[in-house]
């Protein structure tokens, strides 16, 4: 099992604030992902990375940005939070190649509320 | 992109009952996974099953790739089985999973 950590777990913040959601994994996985999920709804891919210095936008348009300076770290930043950003954000990872490359592991998620 | 449809959207079970969840997909896949999301939001991988049948305890899954569907079976359900079950597929070796809308399962004691 991969260990993926997300902080904070819960965040309540005012409109216009800059926020960074942290995601780290300890298994050396190359592929990492950010999903946005409203309660009880499907997951939407907003960003992904296949390795250091590689970042791509996902299928759902998002005003957030990501960076991948280290293999284990994939933070997501919102420059100016708005109420429409209220959601749960889930980070995931999986190996680039080899045994188990097909299995995707998820972090516990960050629940964001923008007032 | 590939379309993923899950049914039923909601399922209420009495503890001890059996159930079947279905996932239909619109194109051939090289990766299909079933996940369980618990009431606290954590997603756990249950099966990697692009074809064939697998079993893990009270859970089993079957994918018929030629007919583009997968089934997840829950036997002797327990209250801890409650949550949302998601099917996710990948069709083109792009390493991006597309998720269905999920089936919300509630198991009552």
**Cα→Cα distances A91→A34, A105, B60, B98, B102, Å:** 5, 9, 26, 15, 18
A30 contacts: CB under 8 Å, gap ≥ 6: A50, A51, A71, A95, A96
Cis peptide before A16 (omega within 30 of 0): no
pLDDT digits (tens, 9 = 90+) for B44-59: 999 999 999 999 999 9
Name the region of A109 (left: φ>0; alpha: ψ -120 to 50; beta: rest): left
Q: Residues of A with CB below 8 A from B87's CB?
A: none
The reported pLDDT for the residue numbered A68 is 97
The reported pLDDT for the residue numbered B85 is 98
The reported pLDDT for the residue numbered A13 is 96
- Cβ–Cβ < 8 Å for B102, B84: yes
A31 interface with B at CB cutoff 8 Å: yes
What is the residue extent of each domain of chain B?
4-108
The reported pLDDT for the residue numbered A77 is 96
Please answer yes or no on whether B43 and A102 come within 8 Å at the CB atom.
no
Greater pLDDT, A89 or A100: A89
A41 interface with B at CB cutoff 8 Å: yes
pLDDT digits (tens, 9 = 90+) for B22-50: 999 999 998 999 999 998 889 999 999 99
Chain A residue whose CA is closest to B100: A42
pLDDT digits (tens, 9 = 90+) for B59-88: 999 999 999 999 999 999 999 999 999 999
Residue A75 φ/ψ, nearest 5 degrees: -80, 150
Q: Which of B23, B29, B45 is nearest to B94 (CA)?
A: B29
Greater pLDDT, B68 or B92: B68
CATH of B4-108, one of 2.60.40.10, 3.10.129.10, 3.50.50.60, 3.30.465.10: 2.60.40.10
The reported pLDDT for the residue numbered A7 is 97
pLDDT digits (tens, 9 = 90+) for A10-54: 999 999 999 999 999 998 899 999 999 998 889 999 999 999 999
Q: Which is the CATH superfamily of the domain at A4-114?
A: Immunoglobulins (2.60.40.10)
Which residues 17-76 on chain B approach chain A with CB closer than 8 angstroms?
Answer: 31, 33, 35, 40-45, 48, 50
Indicate if the pLDDT at residue A109 is higher than 90.
yes
The reported pLDDT for the residue numbered A103 is 86
Confidence of residue A1 (pLDDT cuts 50, 70, 90): low
Listing DSSP states for B18-45 in one string gives -EEEEEEESS--SEEEEEEE-TTS-EEE
Of A31, A40, A106, the CB nearest to B84: A40
Indicate if the pLDDT at residue A101 is higher than 70.
no
Mean pLDDT score across all residues of chain B: 95
Cis peptide before A62 (omega within 30 of 0): no
Of A45, A106, A111, the CB nearest to B96: A45
How far apart, in whole angstroms, are the C-alpha atoms of residue B37 and residue B72?
14
- In the numeric block, the tokens 């409109």 are attached to A15
The reported pLDDT for the residue numbered A2 is 58
Q: What is the DSSP letter of A115?
A: -
Name the region of B14 (left: φ>0; alpha: ψ -120 to 50; beta: rest): beta
Please answer yes or no on whether A43 and B86 come within 8 Å at the CB atom.
yes
């Amino acid at each position: 099992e991969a260990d993926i950590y997300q902080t904070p777990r819960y965040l309540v913040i005012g409109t216009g604030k800059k926020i960074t959601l942290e995601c780290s994994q300890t298994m050396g996985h190359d592929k990492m992902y950010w999903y946005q999920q409203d309660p009880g709804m499907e997951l939407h891919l907003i960003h992904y990375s296949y390795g250091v210095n590689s970042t791509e936008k996902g299928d759902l348009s998002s005003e957030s940005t990501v960076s991948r300076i280290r293999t284990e770290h994939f933070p997501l930043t919102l420059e100016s939070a708005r109420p429409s950003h209220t959601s749960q954000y889930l980070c995931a990872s999986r190996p680039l190649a080899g045994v188990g490359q097909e299995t995707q592991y998820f972090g516990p998620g960050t629940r964001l509320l923008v007032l | 992109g590939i379309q993923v449809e899950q049914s039923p959207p909601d399922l209420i079970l009495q503890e001890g009952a059996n159930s079947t969840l279905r996932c239909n997909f619109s194109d051939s896949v090289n990766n299909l996974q079933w996940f369980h999301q618990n009431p606290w939001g954590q997603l756990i991988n249950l099966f990697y099953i692009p074809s064939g049948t697998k079993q893990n305890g009270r859970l089993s899954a079957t994918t018929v790739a030629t007919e583009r569907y997968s089934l997840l079976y829950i036997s002797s359900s327990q209250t801890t089985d409650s949550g949302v079950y998601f099917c996710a597929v990948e069709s083109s070796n792009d390493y991006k999973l597309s998720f269905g809308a999920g089936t919300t399962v509630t198991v009552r004691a």
